[in-house]
């Protein structure tokens, strides 16, 4: 399946409420988020994201639940040497979802404190939940999938537990383990008059 910049799912069969209609719709695919989306989430990817979304009707008129997962490989900078580190991530989400055809946004995540200014009918135990709002039957989950994936990235990455990092002049010490930066303090001159003291110290401390 070719990667696409969108992750579309069509909710029309759920919303039609036809007798014998489905109680859930499902879609999956490979997502290659747009450059704008990647920039917004601070993401760099080694390849497309695999995704799957299921939207269920929970029995109310247009009360839905959207559940999904997204997996892929991000590129993160090693915190010591700044080389790219492929980092596997698998993330999932589950949100109550409302269908509001009049709104502008195709898909919006409404965070709990902003909810229910006008929605007096919602039970109180739902007031604290984040929820999704969809504006049309054909929904693009790409922004949400990219966002959920980005949130689950580790804060930092290491290319290897033994990464030597960078010298003060920026040289990668994994590639040049014997490199000494030009601005490093000079090693002691071999002809130092104190060499004889160093020899004495070794003997006296043993």
CA dihedral sign of residues 48, 49, 50, 51? negative
Output the smallest distance, CB 84 to Zn ion, in A. Answer: 10
Query: How much helix, strand and coil, in percent to the nearest 5, is found in the chain?
Result: 20, 35, 50
| Nearest CA-CA partner of 87 in 77, 99, 75, 97 | 75
Task: Identify which of residues 162 and 191 has a Cβ nearer to Zn ion in the complex.
Answer: 162
Number of Cβ within a 10 Å radius of residue 46: 12
Output the smallest distance, CB 163 to Zn ion, in A. Answer: 3
Output the smallest distance, CB 181 to Zn ion, in A. Answer: 17
Task: Identify which of residues 15 and 81 has a Cβ nearer to Zn ion in the complex.
Answer: 81
Output the smallest distance, CB 76 to Zn ion, in A. Answer: 11
Q: Which residue's structure tokens are 């504006």?
A: 135
Length of the chain: 206
Residues that bind Zn ion (CB under 5 A): 78, 80-81, 159, 163
């Amino acid at each position: 399946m070719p990667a696409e910049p969108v992750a579309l799912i069509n909710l029309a069969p759920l919303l039609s409420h036809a007798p014998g209609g489905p109680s859930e719709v499902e879609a999956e695919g490979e997502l290659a988020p747009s450059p704008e989306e990647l920039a917004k989430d601070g993401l760099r990817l080694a390849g497309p994201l695999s995704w799957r979304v299921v939207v269920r009707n929970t029995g109310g008129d247009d009360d839905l639940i959207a559940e999904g997962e997204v997996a892929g490989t991000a590129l993160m900078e090693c915190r010591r040497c700044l080389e790219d580190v492929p980092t596997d991530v698998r993330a999932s989400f589950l949100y109550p979802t409302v269908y509001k055809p009049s709104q502008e946004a195709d898909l919006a995540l409404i965070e709990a404190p902003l909810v229910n200014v006008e929605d007096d009918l919602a039970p109180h135990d739902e007031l604290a939940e984040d929820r999704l709002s969809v504006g049309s039957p054909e929904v693009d989950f790409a922004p949400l999938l990219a966002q959920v994936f980005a949130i689950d990235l580790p804060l930092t990455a290491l290319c290897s537990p033994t990464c030597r990092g960078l010298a003060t002049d920026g040289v990668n010490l994994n590639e040049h383990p014997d490199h000494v930066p030009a601005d490093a303090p000079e090693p002691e001159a071999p002809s130092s008059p104190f060499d004889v003291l160093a020899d004495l110290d070794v003997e006296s401390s043993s």
